[in-house]
């Protein structure tokens, strides 16, 4: 019997949000919150069952139907090594629509539909590309339980975290690697690839940032279309994630910023240039923080960069009264903060010093933010990436 659990972290953008759309560099870091998936195979069962706590739903796949789908796909596309996944995506969408219509009777919520497509697509992809097993089918049912600490649609990479956890679980199930070898470079690359494929179901044309950072961990510098570099950081940063509890549409905000850039092209380009300089100044600070005696000076510089970055984002109109309230409360207590991600709601991040727990002012800050109705999570930025571990019943 196979049983294990996967933890895939979420992410924050530390610097460069919005500018990254215009080919400027950005820095993304994993956070200490994430998605936890537990998988248990069940001897004698012929059903794959998925309990998704965040969506409050349970989805089921009959193995006989799933295996029939695999056989049909292989006969339709003989010799297909899935270098291009477009055909599989198309076939899965049609199959899932057919199954949902039959089992539910009415069209389920969009979130549920997308979750089911992701599951079916990743499971089929993992089995169809299983090493040295060109005719592999699933013989034994299994149960998957997925729970997350990440708010869906809040800019913390919840969908990439979910995709990475599913991808790792299905790749282990299909025999690509096991829970002792998943950290090998080629295996992490495979997890990240399929997490990206899951992101395509949710976002159409993702940048590839979220799935990469959620899989590998740490802090990444990236430029759209040019790949990623991992920063050589000494230790994670302490941060306070503050949920403004204001939901927003990333696509709408990006469109508004684009309109602004078209209206004032030279002015907004100057802001993007400043964002690029800011990232270039931040990288050596993040890489050297934690390895010397002058950390307090470096921390002060990082605080200033947070402040400047936040002011640049305010200048393009992506703040919100609730975010401004968070910034004011933090600043009054001597802490520096910025919005993260698309803005206009979502989360703010407050930079915390090493000894924050011994600081009475920190506890007052936390208390005041909570009293104002904000969600507050103490965590880290730049920790470990995806992890697989044994599951003890």
Residue 249 and residue 328 in one domain:
yes
Closest C-alpha to 34, from 206, 170, 153, 151: 151
pTM of the model: 0.89
Closest C-alpha to 188, from 149, 209, 160, 217: 217
Residue 250 and residue 208 in one domain:
no
Per the structure block, which two tokens stand in for 312?
Answer: 């640049």
Residue 152 and residue 247 in one domain:
no
Residue 210 and residue 65 in one domain:
yes
Closest C-alpha to 221, from 211, 212, 231: 231
Q: Which residues pair with 318 in a beta bridge?
A: none
Question: Which positions ≥6 away from 194 have C-beta within 8 Å?
Answer: 122, 125, 126, 163, 167, 170, 171
pLDDT of residue 296: 87
Residue 226 and residue 274 in one domain:
no
List, for residues 24-39, the tens digit of each pLDDT value: 999 999 999 999 999 9
In whole angstroms, what is the distance from residue 15 CA to residue 239 CA?
14
Residue 155 and residue 217 in one domain:
yes
Residue 209 and residue 101 in one domain:
yes
List, for residues 98-113, the tens digit of each pLDDT value: 887 776 555 567 778 8
Per the structure block, which two tokens stand in for 199?
Answer: 């992101």
Q: Give residue 202's domain range.
A: 3-230+384-390
**Residue from 158, 161, 207, 210 carrying the catalytic annotation:** 210
Residue 268 and residue 163 in one domain:
no
CATH number at residue 142: 3.30.230.10
Distances (CA, A) of 169 to 4, 66, 241, 348: 8, 17, 28, 31
Number of domains in the chain: 2
210 is known as an active-site residue: yes
**Regions in the chain scoring below 50 on pLDDT:** none
**Residue from 159, 161, 207, 244 carrying the catalytic annotation:** 159
Residue 297 and residue 191 in one domain:
no
pLDDT of residue 393: 61
Residue 15 and residue 86 in one domain:
yes
Residue 69 and residue 215 in one domain:
yes
CATH number at residue 331: 3.30.70.890
Torsion angle in degrees (nearest 10) through CA of 93, 96, 97, 101? 180
Q: Which residue has the tokens 């997925």?
A: 146
Residue 273 and residue 224 in one domain:
no
């Amino acid at each position: 019997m196979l049983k294990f659990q996967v933890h895939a972290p979420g992410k924050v953008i530390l610097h460069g949000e919005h500018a990254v759309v215009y080919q400027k560099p950005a820095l993304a870091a994993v956070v200490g919150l994430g998605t936890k998936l537990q998988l248990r195979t069940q001897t004698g069962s012929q059903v794959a069952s998925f309990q998704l706590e965040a969506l409050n739903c349970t989805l089921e796949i009959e193995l006989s139907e799933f295996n029939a789908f695999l056989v049909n796909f292989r006969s339709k596309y003989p010799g297909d090594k899935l270098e291009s996944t477009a055909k599989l995506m198309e076939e899965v969408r049609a199959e899932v629509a057919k199954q949902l219509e039959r089992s539910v009777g009415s069209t389920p919520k969009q979130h549920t539909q997308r979750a089911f497509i992701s599951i079916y697509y990743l499971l089929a992809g993992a089995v169809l590309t299983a090493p040295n097993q060109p005719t592999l089918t699933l013989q034994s049912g299994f149960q998957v339980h997925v729970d997350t600490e990440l708010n869906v649609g809040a800019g913390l990479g919840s969908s990439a975290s979910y995709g990475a956890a599913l991808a790792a679980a299905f790749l282990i199930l299909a025999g690509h690697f096991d829970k002792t070898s998943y950290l090998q470079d080629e295996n992490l690359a495979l997890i990240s690839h399929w997490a990206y494929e899951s992101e395509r179901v949710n976002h159409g044309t993702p940048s590839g940032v979220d799935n990469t950072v959620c899989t590998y961990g740490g802090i990444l510098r990236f430029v759209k279309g040019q790949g990623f570099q991992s920063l050589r950081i000494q230790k994670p940063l302490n941060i306070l994630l503050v949920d403004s509890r204001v939901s927003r549409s990333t696509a709408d905000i990006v469109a508004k910023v684009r309109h602004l850039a078209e209206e004032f092209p030279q002015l907004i380009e100057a802001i993007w240039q400043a964002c690029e300089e800011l990232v270039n100044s931040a990288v050596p600070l993040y890489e050297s923080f934690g390895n010397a005696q002058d950390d307090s000076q470096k921390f002060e510089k990082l605080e200033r960069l947070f402040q400047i970055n936040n002011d640049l984002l305010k200048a393009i109109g992506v703040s919100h009264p609730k975010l401004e309230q968070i910034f004011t409360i933090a600043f009054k207590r001597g802490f520096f903060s910025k919005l993260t991600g698309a803005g206009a709601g979502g989360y703010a991040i407050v930079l915390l010093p090493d000894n924050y727990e011994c600081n009475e002012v920190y506890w007052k800050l936390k208390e005041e933010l909570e009293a104002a109705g904000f969600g507050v999570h103490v965590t880290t930025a730049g920790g470990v990436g995806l992890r697989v571990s044994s599951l003890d019943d």
